[in-house]
Amino acid sequence: MAATATAARAPIDGKATADVDDGWNLPTDVFVEILLLLPPTKRWRLRIVCRYWRDVIHERTPAPERRSQPMALVFFQNYIGRRKVSASAFVIDDPAQGRGSELWRTEPAKLWKCVDSFDTMMVGTCNGLLCLCDNTRPGGAASLLNPVTGEALAPGSAQWVWWGMLMSSGWHEAYSFAYEPMTEQYKVVHLPCYLDWSGRELPAQAKRGYGWYLAEVHGRLGLVSSSDCWVTPEKIDVRALGGGRDRQGWSRRYRVQLNDGMERWFASPLFAHGDYVLTQGEHEVFEHRPRNSDGRWSSDEVRSVRISEKTPGLAVSGVFGGSVCGVFAYIKTKEPLSAYNSQAS
């Protein structure tokens, strides 16, 4: 039977308290020594246990090193003629200069007559790991990859249901990828996709010919109001959940004016990266700096971007491929993927 030790409330100066609370009297200095044996990230999460633990961890232990800012990862599917043969990923590692570099690439697939032997799409990224989906397998086959170490992991086959699913682009649309900090587990979730708009209320009724699309806006859940099909001129409205005056509601964060003749789409799911709004053509990614982006962003500020022939944005160099199939937030890590082999679910 596992024993549970409860550290009683004690002054932060290291003197033991006279109270005993469902355990024994543990001096603060001893408690600190125990905490210092834990990895910094795990120790930092223990702040939520109680106010005393939070105070001790804040005042007596070093904070974990701050992670570097996420980079934008651009995912491509590459073609020979009209047939998909490989996938690749590039990162925008110097957004100020608009430069990127290749991170990962698959080997070209063999071409078989009348058979698509390759169709891999990105589901998402989390803590430096990529979640991919093989759309050539019924229901889609998910896998995890650390492109830095080259390790790969197949979480296992998901139970899938094909009837009634919304499959406009591929099986990957039915998958989601996330990390649960408290259990330290990665979750690859597979759900049937239906046209179901129940749930959280949308910020406004979309205009005729327009729809709301999910996006990531500076780490928050975002909604982008854009045309259902490519048209110009177009006014794109971008809102984020929280972050404004209404902490629980939607707040407008960007307005994007797309002028005639510009064949661009907003980058998805990563709409904004650092100080830049991202758009994509068929084979390229572009950066756009909002006109009013200097200084701190106030809670009610709406930043505006105009995309035209005079202000087309900066095409990111070193990022190229067949067809842009998504832009994601990404942080490099050398954490071994094998440690999660038994946790994949």
Lowest mean pLDDT among 88-92, 144-148, 234-238, 285-289: 234-238
Spell 188-208 as b/e; 16+ CB within 10 A means b.
bebeeeeeeeeeeeebeebee
- Distance separating alpha carbons of residues 137 and 305, to the nearest angstrom: 41
- Distance separating alpha carbons of residues 143 and 134, to the nearest angstrom: 8
Lowest mean pLDDT among 97-101, 151-155, 251-255, 298-302: 298-302
For the entire predicted model, the pTM comes to: 0.77
CB-count burial class (<10 Å; 0-12, 13-18, 19+) for 75: buried
Lowest mean pLDDT among 14-18, 224-228, 242-246, 291-295: 14-18
In the numeric block, which tokens belong to residue 116? 């698509």
- Distance separating alpha carbons of residues 122 and 192, to the nearest angstrom: 18
* Alpha carbon distances (Å) from 305 to 246, 273, 274, 275: 24, 14, 14, 12
- pLDDT at position 16, please? 40
pLDDT band at 327 (very low <50, low <70, confident <90, very high): very high
| pLDDT tens-digit series, residues 87-134 | 999 999 899 899 999 999 998 887 776 666 788 999 999 989 999 999
Are 130 and 144 in contact, with CB atoms under 8 Å apart?
yes
Neighbouring residues of 289: CB distance < 8 A, sequence distance ≥ 6: 275, 276, 277, 305
**DSSP-based helix, strand, coil % in the chain, nearest 5:** 10, 40, 50
